[in-house]
Structure formats: structure tokens, C-alpha cells
Amino acid sequence: MNSLRAGKFLLTAGLLIVLAQGLYQFPDLQDYLFPGSDVELSLHTANIESHKIEDGLLSLITRVDYLKWFMAHGGPDQKFSVHRMLSSPFSECIRPLSPRYCWQVNFYLAQKNRVQMERKLRYLDALLKNIDVNLRARSSHDNPASLPKKAAVFSSMNQIKQLQEQCMVYSSKLIEITKQLTWFENNGYKN
């Protein structure tokens, strides 16, 4: 008899916990309980993604510079370069032994990094558009007398605008890098 009661109690408690978690994750309830926290979290995520894109673009630019250098100074008889060894140790070690393989690996890695940056830029752009739409919808429903909320919304809108401007700069850099990689693909290493 006691195990039957314990089973019913545990089943009821479990269902109540699932219901509470579901209600807690309901967007309208979260907006009511914690207004603005989802926007802050989304802006924080957007800032992190922006920094990741910037770091990825710097890495991609370094790889493209290496490919330019490789095309200009190709061949197995090229001297050892300490600077290139520090920036790309694997490539510099195998370059004298197999220059074509080294070129193919570096070109592949550059293309892979470019595709990742394109995906991250699309994600960041969609995230910023979503935050912007949510803020505009929220600000239209807010009480006109709530001045602190309007200041927070204005601050968030400025952050979104700055991040969108950074996205446009990143996108233009990525377009230039894509043109260079296309040129490398068409006029690649010939030795």
C-alpha cells in the first residue's frame, strides 16, 4: 500500500515539476517575470559572436597572406622563414618537402574558415534582426510613462546598430577575401 502511495506522489510531483519548467520557459511569462533579460542575454551572445567573427577573420587574413607569400616565393628551394614558422608551423615544416600538398592544405583550410565566417555572419545578422524586432514590439507595448525602460531600449538599439555596422564591415572584408580565394583557385600554385 505504501509503495502505491509513494508512486502516485512521485508521479504527481514529477508532473508538477515538468509543468513548472514549461511555464517558466514560456516566453510571455519570462517577459513578465524578467523584463529585458532575454534582450540582454541576446545582446551578450551577439557581442561574443562578433568577437569570434573578428578573430576568425584575422586568422583567415593571416592564412590568405600566407597563400600570397607562398605563390610569390613558391618552390622547394625557398629558404626557411622564422616568421612563417611561427605563424604556420605545420605548413612551414612540410613546405620544402611537398609544396603542392602544403598549398592544397592551406587553401582548403582558408576555404573552410571562409565558409565558417559566412555562417557566423548570417547567424549574427539574423540574431540582431530578431533582437531589433523584439525591442520594437516591446517598446510599442510599454507604458509611455516608463522612462527607465525607454532609456534601456534606446541603449540596446544603439548596441544593435553598432553590431550591425560591424557586421557590414566584416561582410565587406569577407567579400574581398572571397575574391582573393577565387583568384587563388583559378591561378593556384603551379609547381
**pLDDT (tens digit per residue) in 17-46:** 998 887 777 766 666 666 666 778 888 889
| Mean pLDDT, residues 80-99 taken together | 60
At 188 the pLDDT is 72
The pLDDT > 90 percentage for the chain reads 35
| Domain-embedded: residue 191 | no
- Measure the CA–CA gap between 160 and 158, rounded to whole angstroms: 5
Count of CB atoms within 10 A of residue 181's CB?
A: 19
Domain carrying residue 27: 1-33
Instruction: Specify whether 23 is located in the same domain as 38.
Output: no
Tell me the pLDDT of the chain averaged across its residues. 80
Instruction: Specify whether 16 is located in the same domain as 82.
Output: no
Q: Find all residues with CB under 8 Å of 78, minimum gap 6, and list them.
A: 95, 96
Query: How far are the Cα atoms of 18, 38, 179, 184 from residue 9, in angstroms, in the given order?
Result: 14, 35, 66, 68
pLDDT band at 49 (very low <50, low <70, confident <90, very high): very high
Res. 173: pLDDT tops 90: yes
- Residues 55-75 have pLDDT tens digits of 999 999 998 988 888 787 765
| Domain-embedded: residue 43 | yes
At 95 the pLDDT is 62
- Top-confidence residue, 72 or 150: 72
| Mean pLDDT, residues 2-21 taken together | 89
Instruction: Specify whether 25 is located in the same domain as 87.
Output: no
Instruction: Specify whether 16 is located in the same domain as 39.
Output: no
- Top-confidence residue, 80 or 119: 119
The answer to whether the CB of 160 falls within 8 A of the CB of 128 is yes
Instruction: Specify whether 87 is located in the same domain as 101.
Output: yes
- Top-confidence residue, 97 or 112: 112
Res. 127: pLDDT tops 80: yes
Ranking 55-59, 62-66, 84-88, 123-127 by mean pLDDT, the lowest is 84-88
